Structure 1
């Protein structure tokens, strides 16, 4: 697998994770979707024999994919945002 293919896979997978990330309200799920692609990217890079010198490039591509996924969510689902917990009403 070439570096270009790994970059493309990294970007697309992070777009999907970014779509799911912005819809979450709990921090633990947001962190999961941010860190979920890391093992995949690492396995692809190592199995392809690509040098560790390209890790910063892959991190930048992953961040751009997450951002693109967040923007795509706004385009695909305009006017909808993740559910916000309603404030507890005070009892009288």
Structure 2
């Protein structure tokens, strides 16, 4: 898997969790779960793809971008443009 493919996978994993996070009350249990549940999946993807620690900043960016895009998708679907 290439670094771009890994970043895309992390982004796509976080889209539904960003949507969920957007609908939850900030810092509630649901909000915390929406932020933290995808972390083990991203960790496993990084380990299984064979990349070291040097890609972590890129994956953090993809993680945050997926959460943000999922939240914006939630706004669009709920009509709060």
1:58-90: per-residue Cα shift (whole Å, max 9, x none)? 0011001111111111111114xxxxxxxxxxx
Q: Does 1:13 align with 2:16?
A: no
Give the number of aligned pairs: 79
State the match for 1:4 in structure 2.
4
Instruction: State the alpha-carbon separation in 2 of the partners of residues 22 and 44 from structure 1.
Output: 25
Gap regions ≥5 residues in structure 1: 80-92
Q: What is the Cα-based RMSD across aligned positions, in Å? A: 1.3
- Structure 1 residue ranges, 4+ long, deviating more than 3 angstroms after superposition: none
1:38-71: per-residue Cα shift (whole Å, max 9, x none)? 1001101111111110001100110011111111
Instruction: State the alpha-carbon separation in 2 of the partners of residues 49 and 12 from structure 1.
Output: 19
State the match for 2:45 in structure 1.
44
Match of 2:51, SS?
Answer: coil
